[in-house]
Every structure is written in structure tokens, then in C-alpha cells.
């Protein structure tokens, strides 16, 4: 046993110094690849999978027989809506958002331009296009009530959703948070935790809080939740900044947060990664905060609200096996506990249905309200299509788009889509994806 912690740390540094590195030339080559096809493909994959909640990142052919429930899929034609929008070469980054019947797409061209357009979601017709020089990748696109927000690296710009005309722009830090509430945008400055709300269109400050450095911001309808560096929870009227309540949570907030049913749920780990976790529920109206689940020696992986007054928690149990536990947040009663797919690391719920999967998981599992296994699929990208259906497709490779209707367990093959270079967005009846050289829009309802 070594005699001194400092010696051990010094030894760790020395060990790190012996790690062979591939060199600058290979880093540049890898950077170029990222900029062009394959690496942009990889970067988009991560964003895509996070966006849909869960997806098994397993690149392998689809086998419908792998599904535990494998009704013969009925086939329909995946109808293209409008004409493909030429991206002017392989886009190095793409972001899309839907709002007010329009699809807003921002992408960067190989020539270093950022293009933003709006298309009618019903017809696919392009309504306007705006082009400007950009330095960097599009990292965020949001359709706000009065503006389209596009973030290119550290530059955030607002555009008129009716015409595409620029409204204003400002710089942000990499870790700054932005939450929009109608006409107000709330920003957390990562550098000092300051929270400032400003008018989306004019940039005029509306209110600010410099006294309670925030570690995290969350939205709950019209309310803003500030998790402070000191571990308090402040609930504000987001538009006016009025402090509605200050909550001292039953345990120090962890890293994952779920806001549902007027409550904030967070995990708290008393000392270290492997210690027993607890899930704390804080009522944002009454301020009551309590531990609703103690995870024993299991390792916390994630959670989501899975119905009224219910939270579903994914963890790795004592033997390392994944499991999902549903808890009634009022009575703290455990409703059910079920095994998760091996290596599951992500959980997402819609209504009382729960999807469990994540990178490394062999399958994505759908659990019904009573915890029973309702569907299992090897598909690489699985997301919600409303509350009662799933939308499935290969992560980014060309392949079939399928839906699974939960109430009657109807599996439908809609048709094939080409390889994609970034995340798709969808509504109940439309699917928009960036492909190698164009933006495409399909109807999910035929």
C-alpha cells in the first residue's frame, strides 16, 4: 500500500506522461473529417440521440424478428412533402425547430455561410431564406413565439419568424444557459452565476438576480426555477422576476433534474459516485421537500416523470443489473420494479409509458403503465410520436422508418429514408431530416 496520497497523484501524472499520442497531423485530419462527412455524422448522432431521449447506439442491421412483439408490419408510402432544399454542399452543422406551423432550419455550408430558412410544415414550401457569414457550427435552433433563435458557437441571434430579418445578436459563454418565456429570455452567466432576464427583441433587461449565484436554471410553465450554488431552490415568476418561494431541499441537488406536476425532482448522492443515492421531491408551490426514494447501494442512471404523481428511476442494482423503479411521489410507495435491458443508461417517459435504452444497450424496451414489457426493439433511434406511439429509424444510416402504436400494438413500416447527417425533428404528422446535400420533409400520415 502506498504511503502518501501526493506520491500517488504524482505517479498518476507520470503515468499520464507515458500515454502515446497520435500527433497534431492526425488531429488535423480528424478535424477535417469531422468537418466533412463522417465526423459531422458522429457529432450529429450524439445530438440526435439526446434529442429523442433514448436510443440504442448499436450499429447493426435491423432484424424485425428481434422484437419481442413482432406483428407483421403493414406498409405505407413515406410521402415527401415539398421539394428537397439544396444545402449548397454537405452541411457541416444543422439545427432545426418547429413552431407555429413552420419548420425553421439553420445550417452551415462548406463555404462558411450560415443559412436559415422557414418552410411551411404543411406544404413544404420555403417561405424565406436568410444567409450570412458564420464562424463555427450551428449548435441550437429554437422557435420562440416572437423570434427564431439560432446559436452559432458563442453567437446567439434572433430573427423575425415572418421574414427572416435579423432582430439582434449577442455573445454568450460556452456554458451559459438560456431559457425563453414568450417575450422574455432568461440567461444564466456561467462565469458568475448571475441571472438576467431581458426582452427577446430589444435586449433590454427586465430583471436580474446577482445576489444568488445560480448553478442551474429550469423552466416550469411561467415559472423559473433557480438552483443556486448554495443549494437552495428559488422559484420566480419568469416574466417579472418576482420571487415566489425559496426552498431548502431535503438533500443537496445533484446533476439531474426533472420538473413535473409542480415538483422538482433531483437525485442527491451523499458522498461519491458509488454511494447510495436518494431522489428528492420539492413542491414548487408549498416548498415541501422530502426524500421519496432511497436507492440503496445502486448507482443512479436517470429518471423521468411517468404519469401523474409518478416518477420512474433507472439505476444499476447491487449486482450491476439495470432496473426501473416506479414510485408514487405522494405516498412514496414503490409501484413496481422491473429489469432494464443490459447496459441501459437512459430513460424517457411519455404519459405512463417508459422507454429504457441508451448507448451500449442491446435493445430499447418499452414498459407499460403497470411495468409490463410492451415492446422491445433493436432500432437505433427510438422516440416518442405523441404519447401513444413510437417513431423508430436507424440512427443516421439509410433505412426504414417505422411507427409502433402502443394501444393496439400496431407496427407500421412507413417507408425508407436516406442517410442523414444530423438529427431529425418531427411532429405528429411530419418528419424533417438533413441528408447529405439537402433538407427533406416527409409526411408520417401518408
Partner 1 sequence: MTATDDFDDFYRDTSRRLARYAYGLTGDATEAQDLVQEAYARAWQRWRRLAGYENPEAWLRLVVSRLATDRWRQLGVRRSRLRNAPAPPPAPPPSENTVLLVKAMQTLPAIHRRALALHYLLDRSVSEIAAETGTSTGTVKSWLSRGRAGLAAALGPVPAKEESHDAR
Q: Which among 41-49, 72-80, 160-168, 321-329 is the span making contact with partner 1, rule CB under 8 A?
A: 41-49
Task: List strand residue ranges (DSSP E) for 46-123, in order.
Answer: 74-75, 79-80, 85-86, 93-99, 102-108, 113-120
Q: Which is nearer to partner 1, 59 or 163 (CB)?
A: 59
Least CB distance to partner 1 at residue 42 (A): 4
45 binds partner 1 (CB under 8 A): yes
Least CB distance to partner 1 at residue 2 (A): 5
Which residues lie below 8 Å from residue 416, measured CB to CB, with a gap of 6+?
Answer: 78, 398, 399, 400, 401
C-alpha 241 chain-centroid distance: 27
Least CB distance to partner 1 at residue 231 (A): 11
CA distance 264 to 260: 7
Angle in degrees, CA 229, 231, 234, rounded to 5:
90
24 binds partner 1 (CB under 8 A): yes
73 to 112, contacts with partner 1 by CB under 8 A? Answer: none
Orientation of helix 38-52 relative to helix 24-35, angle to 10°: 60
34 binds partner 1 (CB under 8 A): yes
139 binds partner 1 (CB under 8 A): no
CA distance 306 to 369: 8
Least CB distance to partner 1 at residue 371 (A): 25
189 to 208, contacts with partner 1 by CB under 8 A? Answer: 190-193
Least CB distance to partner 1 at residue 10 (A): 8
35 binds partner 1 (CB under 8 A): yes
CA distance 196 to 173: 14
Q: Which is nearer to partner 1, 46 or 162 (CB)?
A: 46
Q: How many residues bind partner 1 (CB under 8 A)?
A: 65
Least CB distance to partner 1 at residue 61 (A): 16
Q: Which is nearer to partner 1, 41 or 181 (CB)?
A: 41
Identify the residue among 81, 147, 269, 444 touching partner 1 (CB under 8 A).
269
21 binds partner 1 (CB under 8 A): yes
5 binds partner 1 (CB under 8 A): yes
133 binds partner 1 (CB under 8 A): no
Task: List strand residue ranges (DSSP E) for 90-204, in order.
Answer: 93-99, 102-108, 113-120, 126-133, 138-143, 148-152, 155-159, 166-171, 177-181, 184-188, 195-199
CA separation, residue 353 to residues 46, 48, 309, 370 (Å): 24, 21, 14, 9
Question: What SS3 state is found at 374?
Answer: strand
Least CB distance to partner 1 at residue 194 (A): 11
Question: What SS3 state is found at 436?
Answer: coil
Between the two ends of the chain, the Cα-to-Cα distance in Å is 68
Least CB distance to partner 1 at residue 173 (A): 8
Least CB distance to partner 1 at residue 52 (A): 11
- The strand pair at 74-75 and 410-417 is best described as parallel
185 binds partner 1 (CB under 8 A): no
Per-residue burial over 271-285, b = 16 or more CB atoms within 10 Å of its CB, e = otherwise:
eeeeeebbbbbbbbe
Binding stretches for partner 1 (CB under 8 A): 1-13, 15-35, 38-39, 42-43, 45-46, 49-50, 57, 59, 135-137, 153, 174-175, 190-193, 213, 229, 269, 271-274, 345, 358-360
Amino acid at each position: 500500500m502506498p504511503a502518501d496520497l501526493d506520491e500517488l497523484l504524482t505517479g498518476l501524472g507520470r503515468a499520464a506522461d507515458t500515454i502515446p499520442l497520435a500527433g497534431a497531423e492526425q488531429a488535423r485530419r480528424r478535424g477535417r473529417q469531422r468537418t466533412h462527412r463522417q465526423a459531422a455524422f458522429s457529432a450529429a448522432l450524439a445530438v440526435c440521440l439526446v434529442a429523442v431521449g433514448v436510443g440504442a447506439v448499436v450499429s447493426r442491421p435491423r432484424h424485425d424478428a428481434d422484437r419481442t412483439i413482432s406483428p407483421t408490419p403493414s406498409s405505407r408510402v413515406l410521402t415527401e412533402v415539398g421539394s428537397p432544399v439544396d444545402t449548397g454542399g454537405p452541411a457541416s452543422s444543422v439545427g432545426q425547430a418547429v413552431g407555429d406551423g413552420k419548420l425553421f432550419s439553420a445550417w452551415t455550408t462548406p463555404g462558411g455561410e450560415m443559412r436559415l430558412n422557414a418552410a411551411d410544415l404543411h406544404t413544404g414550401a420555403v417561405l424565406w431564406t436568410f444567409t450570412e457569414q458564420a464562424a463555427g457550427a450551428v449548435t441550437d435552433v429554437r422557435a420562440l413565439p416572437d423570434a427564431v433563435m439560432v446559436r452559432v458557437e458563442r453567437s446567439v441571434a434572433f430573427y423575425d419568424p415572418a421574414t427572416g430579418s435579423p432582430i439582434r445578436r449577442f455573445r454568450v459563454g460556452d456554458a451559459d444557459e438560456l431559457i425563453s418565456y414568450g417575450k422574455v429570455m432568461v440567461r444564466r452567466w456561467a462565469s458568475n452565476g448571475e441571472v438576467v432576464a431581458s426582452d427577446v427583441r430589444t435586449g433590454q433587461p427586465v430583471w436580474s438576480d446577482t445576489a444568488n449565484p445560480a448553478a442551474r436554471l429550469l423552466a416550469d410553465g411561467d415559472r423559473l426555477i433557480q438552483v443556486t450554488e448554495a443549494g437552495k431552490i428559488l422559484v420566480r415568476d419568469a416574466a417579472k422576476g418576482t420571487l415566489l418561494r425559496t426552498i431548502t431541499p431535503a438533500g443537496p441537488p445533484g446533476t439531474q433534474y426533472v420538473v413535473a406536476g409542480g415538483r422538482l425532482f433531483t437525485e442527491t448522492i451523499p458522498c461519491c459516485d458509488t454511494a447510495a443515492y436518494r431522489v428528492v421531491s420539492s413542491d414548487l408551490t408549498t416548498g415541501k421537500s422530502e426524500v421519496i426514494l432511497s436507492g440503496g447501494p445502486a448507482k443512479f442512471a436517470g429518471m423521468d416523470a411517468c404519469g401523474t404523481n409518478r416518477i420512474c428511476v433507472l439505476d444499476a442494482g447491487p449486482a450491476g443489473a439495470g432496473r426501473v423503479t416506479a414510485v408514487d411521489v405522494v405516498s412514496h410507495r414503490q409501484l413496481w420494479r422491473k429489469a432494464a435491458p443490459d447496459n441501459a443508461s437512459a430513460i424517457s417517459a411519455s404519459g405512463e409509458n417508459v422507454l429504457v435504452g441508451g448507448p451500449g444497450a442491446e435493445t430499447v424496451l418499452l414498459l407499460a403503465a403497470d411495468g409490463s414489457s410492451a415492446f422491445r426493439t433493436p432500432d437505433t433511434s427510438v422516440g416518442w410520436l405523441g404519447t401513444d406511439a413510437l417513431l423508430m429509424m436507424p440512427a443516421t444510416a439509410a433505412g426504414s422508418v417505422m411507427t409502433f402504436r402502443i394501444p393496439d400494438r400496431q407496427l407500421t413500416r412507413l417507408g425508407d429514408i436516406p442517410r442523414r447527417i444530423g438529427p431529425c425533428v418531427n411532429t405528429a404528422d411530419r418528419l424533417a431530416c438533413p441528408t447529405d446535400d439537402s433538407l427533406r420533409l416527409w409526411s408520417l400520415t401518408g
